[in-house]
Structures are given as structure tokens and as C-alpha cells.
Amino acid sequence: MQNLYEPALHFHNVDYSVDDINILKKITGSFPKGKITTLVGPSGAGKTTMLKLCNGLISPTAGDIFIDDVSVLDYDPIELRRHVGIALQSAPMIKGTVFQNLALPMELRGQQLTEQEAIRILDDVGLDKHFLQQKTNDLSGGQRQKVSIARTLINRSNILLLDEITSALDRASLREIEELIVKINRQFGVTIIWITHNLEQALAIGDYTWVLKDGHVVETGDSDLLTSSTNEFVKRFVQGEIE
Ligand SMILES: Nc1ncnc2c1ncn2[C@@H]1O[C@H](COP(=O)(O)OP(=O)(O)OP(=O)(O)O)[C@@H](O)[C@H]1O
Ligand SMILES: [Mg+2]
């Protein structure tokens, strides 16, 4: 897949170590621009660590990561985090209203979010304008995820990293969030990198998949590999023999 599509993000021989423990080992590969790539693998494989590297929360111990051919080390950290948005399962927020949370990323840059713009973004994620003044503590899990995703839309991120965002949701909310991510991908051309334990989701929604194990890449390619791989580890993982 590396050669067929323009990469939005490219890992080149990336290592990440903490206290001499090698958490990621020689990771090389690309995430195609404008596509949805899922990251799957057993707990502790290094998936979250990979996402943290993508938006500069941590830096590679060796190797390099390129976004649009520019090394992450050469980006201004604030610019990098604006360009590469992230949404987490816990959807952390400040106490206060939805509007205050949506306005925060712009306030940090000395700008103001207008109510009109906030209403438009809420509409993009399928929330009514009445949610603007709602306290974030009172939101349901699905609504919280929508607000968390809305924040990345305010930044107009070109790349969106998702870490297990549907794991704690009921089936109806899960479907809504899946549809929202597909819409953001198709309508705004945002490149999505999505960590999921839900292999049905990876197959249905992902264009591509990376399978990680113990800090290295086992296989990458079309999401179909989840059903057609000949790799013994991938087959056992898909069958639920390894968690
Ligand atoms: N700062 C750190 N210090 C020490 N070990 C760490 C640190 N960050 C991550 N690790 C270890 O690196 C490994 C990979 O962690 P990571 O969170 O990336 O896994 P994951 O694939 O996201 O797992 P899960 O599916 O459970 O979320 C784990 O063994 C974890 O304990
Ligand atoms: Mg994780």
C-alpha cells in the first residue's frame, strides 16, 4: 500500500524506548492521505504509543516521522497539534459548558470562537444548538465523543487520531460515531488513524489496517487482511485466541 497512495504520515525506522525498554521497534510504513487506517493488536502492543508519536505528545528515540514530508521534529508543537487532532476514549474536558470546551483550542491561540461557528460545528457532529450551554458533566458517552470530535473540527485538523473512542458506547451511539467519522473522512478529506479492538468495525470502516504485536508491525494492507491473512499470528488474533 505504501507506493500506491500519497502518505499523510510516514514512519521511518521509528523506535520508542523508556528506561531502556523498547516499546516500539523499527516501525516503518505509511498512512495514506484521505483514507481510514485502523490500528489493531493485543493489549500492550504499542498502539497508543504510536498515536502519541503522531501528534508530538512524545518523540521517537530513533528514526523519524514525516507529515506531508516534513519531520515532526521540525514542526512547531502547537501547529502540529492543530494539524493532527486526537480523540480519546475518556474524551477529557474542562468543567463548564460545551461552548467553553469548543472555544478553548482557539482561546489558547488568542482567538475567539463565535457562537455561529460553534453552532455550525455542533451541527456537523449531529448535535442541536441547545447543547452549547449544556454542562459537559451532563453529557452521555456518545454526546461527549461528539463534542470531543467537534473540537478537532474547530482546529480543522487534516489528520485525526482516534483511540478506542467507541469502546464504552452502547450499540446505537457506536453506530452514530462510526457514521460521523466516515462523514468527516469523506466530506472533509480528513485522514483517520483509528485504534480499535472491534475487528468488525475495522473491517467495515477501515480502508487499511496495521496489525501490531509487541512493539512491531506484523502486517499492513487492505482491511481485508483481517479475513484473508495467511500470517499465523494475525489468524489467531482475529479468531480471538490472543487478546
Ligand atoms: N511511559 C511509559 N513507561 C513505561 N512503559 C510504557 C510507557 N508507555 C507505554 N509503556 C508500555 O508500552 C507498551 C505499549 O503500551 P501502549 O499503551 O502503547 O499499548 P496499546 O497497544 O495501546 O495497549 P491497549 O490496547 O491496552 O491500550 C505497554 O507494555 C506499556 O506498559
Ligand atoms: Mg492503548
| Pocket test residue of 14, 18, 21, 23 for ligand 1, highest count of atoms within 8 A of CB | 23
Domain that holds residue 20: 7-91+157-238
Nearby residues of 11 by Cβ (< 8 Å), 6 or more positions away:
27, 28, 29, 30, 50, 53, 63, 65
For residue 155, count other CB atoms closer than 10 A to its CB.
16
Which H helix or E strand runs over 177? helix 171-188
Residue of minimum CA distance from atom 17 in ligand 1: 48
Q: Half-sphere exposure of residue 184, counting CA atoms within 13 Å on the CB side?
A: 33
Residue 221 maps to a domain: yes
| Pocket test residue of 25, 49, 194 for ligand 1, highest count of atoms within 8 A of CB | 49
In angstroms, rounded to a whole number, what is the distance separating the alpha carbons of residues 23 and 60?
11
Residue 219 maps to a domain: yes
Which ligand is nearest to the Cα of residue 44, counting in written order? 1
Residue 78 maps to a domain: yes
Question: Is the CB–ligand 1 distance for residue 184 below 6 Å?
Answer: no
- Which three-class secondary structure state does DSSP give residue 141? helix
Q: What is the tens place of the pLDDT at every residue in 26-70? A: 999 999 999 999 999 999 999 999 999 999 999 999 999 999 889
Residue 181 maps to a domain: yes
- In the chain, the number of structural domains is 1
Q: What is the tens place of the pLDDT at every residue in 180-225? A: 999 999 999 999 999 999 999 999 999 999 999 999 999 999 999 9
Q: How many residues does the chain have?
A: 243
The full 3-state SS of 139-180, as one line of letters, equals CCHHHHHHHHHHHHHHCCCCEEEEECCCCCCCHHHHHHHHHH
Q: Is the pLDDT of residue 11 over 70?
A: yes
Average pLDDT on 75-91 reads 92
